[in-house]
Amino acid sequence: EPEVTQTPSHQVTQMGQEVILRCVPISNHLYFYWYRQILGQKVEFLVSFYNNEISEKSEIFDDQFSVERPDGSNFTLKIRSTKLEDSAMYFCASRQGANLYGYTFGSGTRLTVV
């Protein structure tokens, strides 16, 4: 069963530091996403990415956030200057194409900002 792989599984960072969360989507998937889940809350959409550009972003995805697909396999989320409230589980997801088949999530990166 193809998987979306996320690294690291857990990251602790100091407030104000930059952090990069990494994801390897399923190889033949075309659409990529980042979602966030603050502890005990629901999963929230951050950003979608297709054809090497952002196709939609939420209000949460402000100027501190950026995404990149640097080499055709990795998909990264960068937070430039982390805040305490950025502490959350971050999920990467990918899907193949039409009709939302195979909308698959990675196992998440738990980010703790101290």
Partner 1 sequence: AQKVTQAQTEISVVEKEDVTLDCVYETRDTTYYLFWYKQPPSGELVFLIRRNSFDEQNEISGRYSWNFQKSTSSFNFTITASQVVDSAVYFCALSEKGFGNEKLTFGTGTRLTIIP
Could you list the residues that contact partner 1 (CB under 8 A)? 31, 33, 35, 41-45, 48, 50, 55-56, 58, 89, 91, 93, 95, 99-101, 103-108, 110
The reply to whether omega before 25 is within 30° of 0 (cis) is no
Beta carbons within 8 Å of 112's beta carbon, 6+ residues apart: 10, 11, 12, 13, 87
**Of residues 15 and 38, the one with the C-beta less far from partner 1:** 38
How near is the Cβ of 81 to partner 1 at its closest, in Å? 25
How near is the Cβ of 50 to partner 1 at its closest, in Å? 5
**Of residues 81 and 103, the one with the C-beta less far from partner 1:** 103
How open is the CA angle 94-96-102, to the nearest 5 degrees?
70
